[in-house]
Structure 1
Amino acid sequence: MAKILLISAIVLLIAVTFQQANALKCWRCSSDASTSAFCDDTFDPSIINDQQRRWAYVDCNFPTSSQVPFGQYVQQTSRPVCKKMKQLINDKVVISRSCSWEDVNAPPDSCMRTTTPSYIKTEFCETCGHDGCNSASKFKTFTLFALVPTIFIFILNL
C-alpha cells in the first residue's frame, strides 16, 4: 500500500511540475465580440470550435528581448497572469478575459484599483496564475487526471 501511495504521489508531483514548466495559458476573449459567446458569465468552453480555441486560449509570457522596444525595460518583479474583468461599459455588461502582467506581490484583486474613463465601471476584476484560471473552472484538467487515481487507490486501501 505504501509503495502504491508513493508512486501515486510521485506521478502527481511530476504532473504538477511538468505543467508549471510550460508557458502560462490564458483565455483571451470579450463577451461583446460577435464570435465570443462562450466568454460570457458563465464561461462555456463546450461551444468553442477549434479555430476559436487557437486564438482564444493563448500563451501569456513576457515578450522576448527582441520584442521589447529599444530602451524599454521589462520589470523583473512582474509576472504574467490571467485576468477576468466584469465591466459596465455604456450601461452594457461586458466580460473580458486576457493576459496581463502584475507585480509579484500584488493581491489578486489589485486590478480593481485601475483608473477607467467615466463611462466604464469595473464591477469585478481578478488575476490568477495557472493555466486557464480566468475561465469558470478552478482545477487544471491534467492535474485532476493525476489526482483521481491517487484518491481512488487511497480509498481502496482503507
Structure 2
Amino acid sequence: MPTQYTNLHCPCGNQALYAHCCQRYHDGATASTPETLMRSRFSGFALKLGDYVRASWHPSTRPPTLNLDDTPDWVNLRILDSGQNGDTGQVHFQAIYRLHPGWGYLQEYSQFVRENGHWYYLQGEPHEGILKPSRNELCPCGSGRKFKACCL
C-alpha cells in the first residue's frame, strides 16, 4: 500500500496520520461501521487506490473496472449523518474537491450492507455542485483555518 502517505494527515478528515487511520483498511483490516468504510473509501479515492475502492463495493453493484486517473483532486470529507440498523447502514456525506479555479462538492446519501462481517458500499444518490466559501468561513481544504488565510 502507499507507504509514501504514512506520515501525512489522512484524507478522510479525522485529523490523524494516515498510518493511524485509513491505511489499516487499505492494508486489509475490516471496517467496523459504515462511516469507517466511507472514510476509508474517500481516502481510497483521494489516493487513487482503485483496487481498494472496487473491493469495498458490494459485488451486486460493483463496476467491472474502475480507473481513478482522471478523478477530481479530493481534499476534504464532511460526514453529515451516519447510522446503522443491524446489517444495513447509511452515510450522508459531502466530499470536497478542487476545481481550477475554485471548489466543487459531491454530496451523497450512501447505503451500505454488511455480509460475512464485512461492510460494503451498496449504492448512493449523488448530487454535485459548486462551493463558494466566503473569506471568513473555514477553508474547504479541511485545514481548519479560515479560507482567507489558507487557500484564497
TM-score band, normalised by shorter chain: under 0.3
TM-score, length basis structure 1:
0.27
Larger Rg: 1
Question: RCO (CA 8 Å, sep 6+): is it higher in 1 or 2?
Answer: 1
TM-score, length basis structure 2:
0.27
More strand by share: 2
